[in-house]
Structure 1
Amino acid sequence: MEKNNLDINELYVTYKSYFIAIAYKMLGSISDAEDIVQDTFLKLQMREIHLTAVNNVKSYVSRMVVNRCINELQSSRKKRETYVGTWLPEPIVQDIKWDPTEKIIQDDQLYYTFAVLMEKLSATERAVYVLKEALDLKHSEIADLLHITEMNCRKVFSRAKKKMNVSIDENSTSYEIQQEQIHKFISALSRGDVQEISAILTSDVTLIADGGGNVATAINQIISKKRVLSLLSAIATKFFTGKKAKAVIVNNEPGVLVLKDEEVVGVFSFAWKKNTNQIEQIYYVVNPDKLGHISIQC
């Protein structure tokens, strides 16, 4: 068993991004994830827990984080159910000139598509999935933690795996090609000529927007190249007036930041169809409540 020689402050510095990644997977909100992790460490300090007595402190704190996330999901369930339109995760945005060693979260499984798929899972399914995939806990350990039977735990995990029916490794579009296509996307919207990007969209491309009732946007997902191009044309004509777009990194992949007077007012992220170099999903977040945490120097 792993013995721990870290004090609480050292533990926080060493594993902060790891714990935030777990909380973000559970909640889909980077700001809430950071709050959960900070509160968890405050509780550790208040309890004056001697970490040297904990066999696997990383796993121990991870379980605390997951439990707090479950409570948060359950308390916010009604808010999610009455949400106007589609609820999309908060995008994690970094400057395009990023250093891979300086990711906000050191976790390659946090592509935006992955975060969106996590929204299909219930609180229990998320907990089981994260504890199994991230911590590689045994089903018996997860069952004890969540107060369910081991058999039920296995069923929940199997159900969650089916819902998460995508492999992050399937993305065969290189980072360089993604960047190139993103710049075409920015140029097309900035000039108001969206037909320029018709070739980089799949025929069944889908656009999902999240305005949260605070900003007017499509409430239902838009399906097909023709309809998506029509909406992008409207966005370019109306929404882009007086604004500028900037290539950024969204959840460790190239994306687009939209700004007005240096304030973030929108984020585009994309999913790429395997072996085509084409975009098959466009995610468009304009809800200001989900953009306030973003700080990019322009």
Structure 2
Amino acid sequence: MTTDLEQYYHENKSNLTALSYRLTGSWVEAEDIVQETFLAMFENAAGLEHIRAPGPYFRRAVVNRSLNAIQSPRLSRETYFGTWLPEPVFLQTSHAADEPILREEQISYAFMTMLEHLSPQERAVFVLRESFGIEYDEIASILGKNEAACRKLLSRARKKLGPVPPESPPSDQIVPGWVSAFLKAARTGEFAPLLEMFNEDAVMWSDGGGKVRSAIHPITSRKRIIAFWAGITKKGSMEGDLVPTLINGQEGLVLYRNGVAVKVILIEGDHTGHIVNIYLITNPDKLIHVPAKK
């Protein structure tokens, strides 16, 4: 019987999708991976009776599929044109019953971009241990390594990352203030007031995937970032409707043109309240699931 499998799927798909998203950087891919994992069992009319520990079983299947996906041409960072940025996630619901799941899935964009500094194996160990609290014996079983090797991978990952941004999106009012100021600047074309909001060594990252024009290399320093936005605004690249939107659990901006999303903008700051990173996603493949303009 597959009734128990169906119930397990509905109860755990959110958690497993969040796991796969942390590994692949693509929510669309993560959803497909989790569905394919369970579909294989549904097609065989299999239940959970023969699985001694469903949790480790499905985590292993999802992690392995996710690591394979990272090596595929569609998700390979090595062959990607320009900077790879994670796919932004838009999870919004009006149903109170969905709120716990929604909160669980809201992973900060700063955390996701940080994970891009790790190799796939380092990323898997870091996510399993730090995000999901999985014991080393299970991590070793999933990756086909011994526990000592997994501990070494985690140590290497921590050294690469340094201070880790929180996984949960910021809950204070600083982000909406940045968004409001940016929205005003884009509407008026006056970006000078934004200058003091940026750290001197702030960085702007762009991801067009080679499908639309974008800055191939990161733009560094607040003056260059402001000059970039002022320049594209004068050229008409910001024409359309710029709408504040909940993205990865925090407020960001979506630029709609003729009802179609063409840009997503996310802002990351530090403990002083200054902007340290700004992310511009224009690759249409990563904007497929942007909510329709209301």
Return the TM-score normalized by structure 2. Answer: 0.89
Aligned length: 292
Residue number among 81, 86, 95 corresponding to 2:83 in the alignment: 86
SS in structure 2 opposite 1:90?
coil
Please say if 1:257 is aligned against 2:254.
yes
Taking the aligned partners of 1:245 and 1:96, their CA distance within structure 2 comes to 22
Residue number among 196, 204, 208 corresponding to 1:207 in the alignment: 204
Question: Matched residues, percent identical?
Answer: 34
Amino acid at match of 2:185: A
* Contact 1:171–1:272 (8 Å) recurs in 2: no
* Contact 2:186–2:238 (8 Å) recurs in 1: no
SS in structure 2 opposite 1:51?
coil
SS in structure 1 opposite 2:212?
coil
Task: Choose 168-177 or 236-245, whichever is displaced more.
Answer: 168-177
Offset of 1:187 from its aligned partner?
Answer: 1.1
* Contact 1:202–1:280 (8 Å) recurs in 2: yes
* Contact 1:94–1:296 (8 Å) recurs in 2: no
Offset of 1:146 from its aligned partner?
Answer: 1.4
Amino acid at match of 1:268: I
Q: Equivalent residue for 2:99?
A: 101
Q: Equivalent residue for 1:181?
A: 178
Offset of 1:204 from its aligned partner?
Answer: 1.3
Q: Which has the higher contact order (CA 8 A, sep 6+)?
A: 1
Distance 1:117 1:19, change over 3 A: same
Taking the aligned partners of 1:127 and 1:163, their CA distance within structure 2 comes to 14
Taking the aligned partners of 1:227 and 1:106, their CA distance within structure 2 comes to 37
Taking the aligned partners of 2:230 and 2:80, their CA distance within structure 1 comes to 26
* Contact 1:95–1:248 (8 Å) recurs in 2: no
User: Could you say what the CA RMSD is over the residues aligned between the two structures, in angstroms?
Assistant: 2.7
- The aligned runs of 1:121-132 (5 Å cut-off) are 121-132=118-129
SS in structure 1 opposite 2:37?
helix
Distance 1:142 1:96, change over 3 A: closer
Task: Choose 77-86 or 276-285, whichever is displaced more.
Answer: 77-86
Q: Equivalent residue for 2:277?
A: 281
Q: Equivalent residue for 1:117?
A: 114
Distance 1:282 1:229, change over 3 A: same
SS in structure 2 opposite 1:284?
strand
- The aligned runs of 1:134-283 (5 Å cut-off) are 134-169=131-166, 174-274=171-271, 276-283=272-279
Q: Equivalent residue for 2:10?
A: 13
* Contact 2:90–2:246 (8 Å) recurs in 1: yes
5+ unaligned residues in a row in structure 1: which ranges? none
SS in structure 2 opposite 1:106?
helix
Q: Equivalent residue for 1:133?
A: 130
* Contact 1:204–1:225 (8 Å) recurs in 2: yes
Return the TM-score normalized by structure 1. Answer: 0.88
